[in-house]
Amino acid sequence: MIEQTVGHDRRWVLVALMVTMTLAAMDITIVSTAIPQIVSDLGGFTKFSWVFSIYLLAQTVTIPLYGKLSDIFGRRNILLFGIAVFLIGSAASAVSWNIGSLITFRGIQGLGAGSIMATVNTIAGDIYSVQERARIQGYLSSIWGVSAILGPALGGALAEYVSWRWIFLINLPLGCVSIGLLTTFFKESVVPAKPVIDYKGAILILCTLGLLFVFLLEGGQGWPWFSLPSMALLALILLLGAWAFRTEKKSADAIMPAWLWKNKTLAYTNLAMVGMGIVMMGPETFLPTFTQVSLGVGVIASGFILASMSIGWPTASALSGKLYLRIGFRETSLIGAVLVLAATVGFLLLPRPQPVYMLVIDQALIGAGFGLLSTPSMVGVQSMVPWQQRGVVTSANVFSRNLGQSLGAAIFGAVFNNTFLHQMKSTTGRFSVSSSNVMEIIHMPGLPASAKAFIRDSINLSMQHVYWGCVVFALVILYGICRVPSRKRQEDSASTAGGR
């Protein structure tokens, strides 16, 4: 049993959580702008995508495990362990001597980030009441918005004026501040007990998810989707997945217990979170390329257009508390799902060429939808279960969104690339194109105006297909939330989940 004695020091715990979340939130964006300098120094251009992929892989597959461990050993211990691992990975990444060593050390960073993603929101759910959690989730969500803007600028500045190695070293003082605040102000009294951990299930889940992410990240790039390696890997994933399912179903202390999926509120909320993660990746992955090539805006301006999502998200998240206390978690999430659907349809209906201000408004609208969807969903599932199960349900919620983001990157990457390449193949005999990189093509010296116009039209069509995909998965979100039981039925489900 674990008792918390936080008291009036919650404000400093919140500061610690926000600093800790900054480590995970900024790490992707701060690295992305420094990749040219990293590759120039270390080499390995063909492998640089794994600098991101291995981090995402290690982070996501460990989230369910950390959630379970935090229910056994306490939130603070697991979070401090994760921060320490993250800082070790950061320091090692800063002294990388080739691309292989950097990829390895980024994997260590990801192992630490998994603890951060799984535990920060759980602690917030522990120490704040239902009435307060929307405001707190708004603060935590704002970290992602600030990181989306500050990360690329800071990463580019450090890489250009100091050294790319400082994008990892900067994590060390932040992590030390977080550790200091947590150890000083966040108190947990852990009563010693012999932990029961489902090691077999944990290993099977990690292997299954790890191979699934390799399949999604390398499919269509490392090998064709419909090839012998791809089909063999998929068969192995299905085999391990079935084995993991059978193991978890029989285990009394499962990492991903069966009641998570038998409870309709939890199962359909997590389905909606998978859909949300997928939809997020449509604009996040391809909107900057679209705005630069099709609309002709600069790199910085395209970044701000993308970041306009962060205007609506934390604002709606913070305001959602008053709404879900009045009409309920499901109904508030339903409003968010409708806004996401409206925003994705709005992208399709914008006039051509799209006015920049309309893109910004639509991005802010979809961000507001995400805020009204994600925060009530998170707080709602946390409120359904006792302390001993809150780590599991929180990590399942976060894991579902991360899984959706990985699926979205693979799905929309295939949609965009296949549409664009199909269009480019139709140019045979009209003009010669020797590169598959659209940014290189559009800036080729002497490229005819007709060719540039054709490329812009191809990008427009590719983005149209991406947004049609967003509409489809926005409907999945809406379906998931609609299947969540009403408020009275949620109260019945809460007693069922808490008793298992």
Distance, in Å, from the CA atom of 449 to the CA atom of 290, rounded to the nearest integer, reads 18
Whole-number pLDDT of residue 463: 83
Distance, in Å, from the CA atom of 122 to the CA atom of 77, rounded to the nearest integer, reads 13
Structure tokens belonging to residue 228:
């012998």
Distance, in Å, from the CA atom of 334 to the CA atom of 337, rounded to the nearest integer, reads 5
pTM, whole model, 2 decimals? 0.77
Whole-number pLDDT of residue 8: 46
Whole-number pLDDT of residue 230: 86
Whole-number pLDDT of residue 44: 65
Nearest one of 184, 180, 175 to 88, comparing CA atoms: 175
Q: Which residue has the tokens 């630490």?
A: 112
Under 8 Å between Cβ of 131 and 98? no
Whole-number pLDDT of residue 6: 44
Whole-number pLDDT of residue 393: 86
Under 8 Å between Cβ of 116 and 70? no
Domains in the chain: boundaries: 1-197, 198-252, 257-427+435-500
CATH of 1-197, one of 1.10.357.10, 1.20.1250.20, 1.10.260.40, 1.10.600.10: 1.20.1250.20
Structure tokens belonging to residue 441:
């093509």
Distance, in Å, from the CA atom of 498 to the CA atom of 297, rounded to the nearest integer, reads 53
Instruction: Tell me the CA end-to-end span of the chain in Å, nearest whole number.
Output: 17
Whole-number pLDDT of residue 155: 77
Whole-number pLDDT of residue 67: 82
The yes-or-no answer to whether 1-197 and 257-427+435-500 have a common fold is: yes
Q: Which residues of the chain have pLDDT under 70?
A: 1-8, 32-33, 35-36, 44-49, 145, 148-149, 190-196, 217, 220-221, 252, 285, 288-289, 298-300, 302-303, 426-449, 487-500
Whole-number pLDDT of residue 471: 94
Q: Kindly report the CATH number that applies to the domain delimited by 257-427+435-500.
A: 1.20.1250.20
Whole-number pLDDT of residue 87: 95
